[in-house]
Amino acid sequence: MNKKVQRSLAVVSAAALVFGVSAVSSATAAPKSVSLAFQAPLTGSNALTGQDELTAARFALSEYNATNPAIKVELVIADDQGLADVAALLAPGIASNKKIIGLIGPAFSGATQASLPAYKAGRLPLISMSATRVSLTDRRAPVNGFPIFKRVVANDKFQGPALARYAVKGVASPSVYLVDDKTAYGKGLADYTKPNIAKLAGSDSVPENTSDYTSVVAKVKASGANVVIYCGYAPDAAKFVKALRDGGYTGIFAAGDGVLKATFPNNAGNAAAEGARLTAADVPFEDVATPAQMVAYTKLTGIKVPGSYVTSTYNATNIFLACIKQGIVTRAGMQNCLTNGSFKGVAGDTIRFDRYGDIIGGAAVGAFTIKAGKITYLGVA
């Protein structure tokens, strides 16, 4: 399908505001009703990220519904395809819907940046589950989310050093070649990874959606690097690592959370992806949820092994729901609740936000690897 047509369809879909009613009416009286929006890529090359995250939002709402709440919650789902230009077109419509008092997302940093003008103008509180670009919570940055933006993940100021450490762990005399995809996310992660690399053999920026990685593979091999760190998204990472292996590179391939997708090994080819080292500012949901929650999650979604950022999306959704349970039904009330509240994550952790929207004390960055075509969690990076 023509990309312009795809984007037009996404805008029409969002303008129509596909609702999922997610509450049970009170037995005695009709409850008050509010909406939460969910914004992530649900179609396009990065759709799996948003689809995984949406299961978590729906699961959190299903648990809320089971309490027969006094305030009914509807979910407005917006597909931004993970693209800044699509997000910029969607955001004004969401911001103008006054029934929406909070937004879960956006998922991607570039889409978040593009959405912020509309959401700031509408004073719509946001909690992102996976947007890690540092500038989003930097009051000095030209485009930042203050005061409406919050996130439940560690930003790239934490992930960058963790990625640099994990990429070279156990490697004798590591020499690193660093590549980013020129996106807001990829460039931002690379900026915080690079200073933590002891020996940089070289670096390059290769635009997203590049089809031929031959030239950068040649640069990597000529540099003598035995570790490659890629800062970008899974579709391009799959093409890049395949080209590296086809070109004879046998060293470590490492990447950040943008590559932590179940489709990555298959798209790259299991042999090419084997042993890849990945980081993410998240931990697997099955490692922190109770057995009963896992049974309920699988019953609702049909999924036995939750995907990436399910834990953080579940936490983000529940933070909004905790405020709604207190009787919050306005954007202003929600903003105050998020700014001043203290919340419990599914792992038992306490979540409080600093003035600019980051978690006070930071958040865990997990270490993962690819084994036999599957993503395996190894612990905190």
Share of the chain above pLDDT 90, in %: 90
Taking only the tens place, the pLDDT of each residue in 83-138 is 999 999 999 999 999 999 999 999 999 999 999 999 999 999 999 999 999 999 99
User: Which residue ranges make up each domain of the chain?
Assistant: 3-154+287-348, 157-280+365-380
Contacts of 85 (CB under 8 A, 6+ apart): 7, 114
With cut-offs at 50, 70 and 90, classify the pLDDT of residue 363: confident
Q: What is the pLDDT of residue 27?
A: 36
pLDDT for 4: 38
Neighbours of 74 (CB within 10 A): 18
- Whether 3-154+287-348 and 157-280+365-380 share one fold: the answer is yes
pLDDT confidence bin for 362, thresholds 50/70/90: confident
Q: What is the pLDDT of residue 170?
A: 98
Instruction: Tell me the pLDDT tens digit for each residue of 159-206.
Output: 999 999 999 999 999 999 999 999 999 999 999 999 999 999 999 999
Alpha-carbon distances of 17 from 64, 111, 147, rounded to whole Å: 22, 18, 26
pLDDT on residue 364: 83
Res 29 pLDDT > 90:
no
CATH code reported for the domain at 157-280+365-380:
3.40.50.2300
List the structure tokens of 27: 């037995």
Confidence band for 19, pLDDT divided at 50, 70 and 90: very low
Q: Which CATH superfamily is domain 3-154+287-348 in?
A: Response regulator (3.40.50.2300)
Residue 155 has pLDDT above 50, yes or no: yes
What percent of the chain is modeled with pLDDT above 70? 92
Q: In this structure, what is the dihedral angle of CA atoms 96, 101, 102, 103, given to the nearest 10 degrees?
A: -30
Report d(CA 155, CA 132) in Å as an integer: 4
Q: What pLDDT score was predicted for residue 138?
A: 96
Residue 79: its pLDDT value, please?
Answer: 98
> What's the rounded mean pLDDT across residues 47-76?
97
pLDDT tens profile 130-144: 999 999 999 999 999
- pLDDT, averaged across the chain: 92
